[in-house]
Structure 1
Amino acid sequence: MTTDIRSLEMPNAEGYFGDYGGSFVPPELQTILDEITVAYNEIKEDPEFINELTMLMKDFVGRPSSLFHCKNLSAKIGGAQIYLKREDLNHTGAHKINHCLGEALLAKKMGKKKLIAETGAGQHGVALATAAVLVGLECDIYMGVIDIEKEKPNVTRMRILGANVIPVTRGTQTLKDAVDAAFEAYLEDPVTQLYAIGSVVGPHPFPMMVRDFQKIIGIEARAQFQEKNGKLPDHLVACVGGGSNAMGLFTAFLEDKAVKIHGVEPSGVGLEDGKHAATLTLGQPGTLHGFKSYLLQDDAGEPLPVYSVASGLDYPGVGPQHSLLKDIKRVNYVTAGDEETIDALFELSRTEGIIPAIESAHAVAYAMVLAKDLPKEETILVNLSGRGDKDIDFVVENYGKKFGV
């Protein structure tokens, strides 16, 4: 496949990023998706919409999120300098609010009555429930019962905000099954509902739309890093499940060939044991939830069960643009396992006073490994996509003794 930088200007009119993406849905739903595409293409150029979203990002979310130099952690490792883009400081605690506000405003302008979505770690669910309150829409959130038990603080937040949290008991009872359930509910009434997909996945236009709302991360980070250091970072690092926080950071730097980009997938308890969610590392092209991308699948093309200590990363597919970026070798996709991720969570907490979400700790874990072998003058920018409030009970219960908690 070509590595011409112009191939990064995606998607095309049919929603394809190279060979990936598209829309594989029933004809009646395709009609609705076409309407969403038209509406989105109109409002993204509408000054009133842009001004409203900009105001909410500033006054409600608290943007721009800050850029922080981890001096203590960098000194302890002894290699490259590690910086964090602090999406964990956003209202609701993660990057998810960036696209949820955009999707909620779009739904209201289209005359929809309800927002529905899936959630794994609960950050997307909390953000969408928050956005629904703000614009005056109903909100249904589908969540696997395993994740409901694991992420109780976020479930409580969603319910306080008035969202209807619907337990999913089928299959693995985690994120993939929550997506299945939400998608089925959307098919029952796509006219009055908008399925606010939680990542850069799904049929067109969602991978494009979520990326566009999330790219504010990279736009801010690029300007902040240059202001602070007089240059661009040498490396970018972000965790990848569906891939929204990563695309949010990466998009602003894709044409900067000197900036090396690393996406970190969960290797769970081991790639060789099958208990992982390393889609780009071990998957093959396939179709899931209405789009084509790399997919962890069996010989019959059915999605395989996946696992990660991070509920927000255990998805067998990945965003179609990530699939393209892998093929053209613009992004280096690597892995971090459960053990090193939890170690990184405690290391960041105890050197910098920042408790990251388990998802984000995958990126921190890889950045720590990467930094060791680089000279001190090199720089690594990590997207700290969420904070760890939601995870502390789970972490203490399962790993606390190791760290004296």
Structure 2
Amino acid sequence: MSLSDPTPDGRFGDFGGRFVPETLIPAVLELEVAFREAWADPSYRAELDGLLADYAGRPSPMTECHNLSEHLGCRLLLKREDLNHTGSHKINNVLGQALLARRMGKTRLLAETGAGQHGVASATAAALLGMECCVYMGEVDVRRQELNVFRMRLLGAEVRTAMSGSRTLKDAVNEAMRDWVATVQDSHYCLGSVMGPHPYPWMVRTFHEVLGHEAREQSEALLGGPPDVVVACVGGGSNAIGIFSGFADAPTELVGVEPAGGAAIGRGVPGVVHGMESYLMQDEFGQVVEAESISAGLDYPGVGPEHSYLAATGRARYESVTDAEVVEAFQLLSRSEG
């Protein structure tokens, strides 16, 4: 019940790869070796599984939306990642990477964040394991996600504001990678989505596969078989690839939903950004087009390379929705289910 692994050079078909400065080549190679060794180590897996269960609160429940299902004329199930510790799916990946960083002898976690959820999860894991934490966040997102900035600082993290470019997630990633170049001996870059240079897209997906495995078991228990359709939002694409992984071998349609103002697959063309080749919103001169979304975590002009591969092969379908449509759906769900 999983997706295929990338090639040795980190490719999913024509997408992925490892496009980083020479100073980071040893770091990403070291990370790949360390991850392979850790994932093959039963003691590492047992410690991670224990934290996911007793600290993060997994498995997260599957909720059937009876009222909304009646309104829509279908059976609608929600995989409740919002009920994990720190409030999102991000903790799955962060716990895995933080344990890996400690195993590698790193003392400092670096992270980027848009909505603040990955930053909060990174700060939480750093506090748990006694590590320093520095989170980069675009100035626009700092203003619209003040509560999560407060939470990160409460947990002991340093929050640095990215003031360049669009001052959103893309620019936070840029700043975090610059910091990593300068502090690579002591710092681990805890990238928050299935993007970036190999091995990040594969490694982050692996940490999120727990979400897909649970969803497969829970949906089959409720429905008597796999669902007809699995739908997930897509920015970088970590929650989507996590749940898709559980249904890769099922006769289930996989649908990713991008923001209309940040539809890298729907509006983009192949290009290189943040160490990977993937679909990317660009102008006629190859310059990155700024993404826009009401969601602070989805205003990213690229997408994880495995999503580009799934789109190119036809295994998954990608649609886009406007901010107005999202707000309408959010209100409908809230008023139907509480």
Q: 2:49 aligns with which of 46, 54, 69?
A: 54
Partner of 2:288: 303
Post-superposition shift, 1:220?
0.4
State the 1:27 CA deviation.
Answer: 2.1
| TM-aligned CA deviation for residue 301 of structure 1 | 1.8
Q: 165, 174, 178: which one pairs with 1:180?
A: 174
Partner residue, 1:398: none
SS in 2 for 1:323: helix
Distance in 2 of aligned mates of 1:85 and 1:351? 17
- State the partner residue of 1:206: 200
- Compute the displacement of 1:343 (Å): 1.3
Equivalent residue, structure 2, for 1:332: 317
Structure 2 matches for 1:148-227, cutoff 5 A?
148-227=142-221
For residue 119 of structure 2, the aligned residue among 125, 128, 132 is: 125
**Match of 2:334?**
349
Match of 1:64 in 2: 59
TM-superposed deviation, 1:166: 0.4
What is the CA deviation profile of residues 22-41 of structure 1, one whole-angstrom value per residue up to 9, with x for unaligned ones?
A: 10112221111100000000
Structure 1: distance between partners of 2:287 and 2:181: 21
Q: Once the 2 structures are TM-superposed, how far is the Cα of residue 320 of structure 1 from its aligned partner? A: 0.4
SS of the residue aligned with 1:184? helix
1:260 is aligned to 253
Q: 1:41 — aligned with what?
A: 36
User: Counterpart of 2:95?
Assistant: 101
- Is it true that 1:232 corresponds to 2:226 in the alignment? yes
Q: 1:364-403, aligned counterparts within 5 Å?
A: none
Residue deviations 1:369-393, cap 9 Å, x none? Answer: xxxxxxxxxxxxxxxxxxxxxxxxx
Amino acid at match of 2:272: T
Q: Distance in 1 between matches of 2:319 and 2:309?
A: 15
Secondary structure, counterpart of 2:18 in structure 1: coil
What are the Cα deviations for residues 176-204 of structure 1, in whole angstroms up to 9, with x where unaligned? 11111111111111111011101000000
Spell out, residue by residue over 1:134-178, the C-alpha distance to the aligned partner (whole angstroms, 9 max, x if none): 111100000011101101111111010000000111111111111
The aligned counterpart of 1:317 is 302
Q: CA deviation at 1:226?
A: 1.2
Distance in 2, Cα, partners of 1:241 & 1:160 = 27
Deviations 1:274-319 (A, max 9, x none): xx10100010000001110000012222211110000100111100
Percent identity of paired positions between Structure 1 and Structure 2:
50
Secondary structure in structure 2 of the residue aligned to 1:253: coil
TM-score where L is the length of structure 2: 0.98
Name the SS of the counterpart of 2:147 in structure 1.
helix
| Structure 2 counterpart of 1:47, one-letter code | P
- Provide the secondary structure at the position in 1 that maps to 2:55: helix
AA in 2 matched with 1:142: Y
Structure 2 CA distance for aligned equivalents of residues 189 and 163 of structure 1: 17
The letter for the 1-side match of 2:58 is R
Distance 1:247 1:134 in 2: 27
Shift of 1:10: 2.5
CA distance in 1, matches of 2:212, 2:62: 11
Unaligned stretches of 5+ in structure 2? none
The 2-side partners of 1:186 and 1:298 are apart by 29
- Root-mean-square deviation (CA, aligned residues, Å) is 1.2
Distance 1:103 1:140 in 2: 15
Ranked by relative contact order (alpha carbons within 8 Å, sequence separation 6 or more), the top structure is 1
Q: Distance in 1 between matches of 2:71 and 2:222?
A: 22
Q: CA deviation at 1:225?
A: 1.2
User: 1:347, CA displacement in angstroms?
Assistant: 1.5
**Within 2, Cα distance between the matches of 1:42 and 1:57?**
20
| Cα offset, 1:55, TM superposition | 0.5
1:73 aligns with 2:58: no
In structure 2, how many angstroms separate the alpha carbons of the residues matched to 1:103 and 1:149? Answer: 28
Deviation at 1:254?
Answer: 1.3
Counterparts of 1:336 and 1:49, CA distance in 2: 40
Letter in 1 for 2:10: G
Structure 1 gap segments, 5+ residues each? 1-5, 268-275, 354-405
- Correspondences of 1:135-150 after superposition (within 5 Å): 135-150=129-144
Structure 1 CA distance, aligned partners of 2:83 and 2:160? Answer: 28
| 1:89 CA displacement | 0.4
> Which segment drifts farther, 340-349 or 217-226?
340-349
Aligned to 2:19: 24
Moved over 3 A (4+): none
Residue identity matched to 2:5: M
* Cα distance between partner residues in 2 of 1:47 and 1:106: 13
**Cα deviation code 1:350-381 (max 9, x no counterpart):** 1111xxxxxxxxxxxxxxxxxxxxxxxxxxxx
* Cα deviation digits, residues 101-154 of structure 1 (max 9, x gap): 000000000000100011000000000000111111100000011101101111
Q: Matches of 1:191 and 1:303 in 2, distance apart?
A: 31
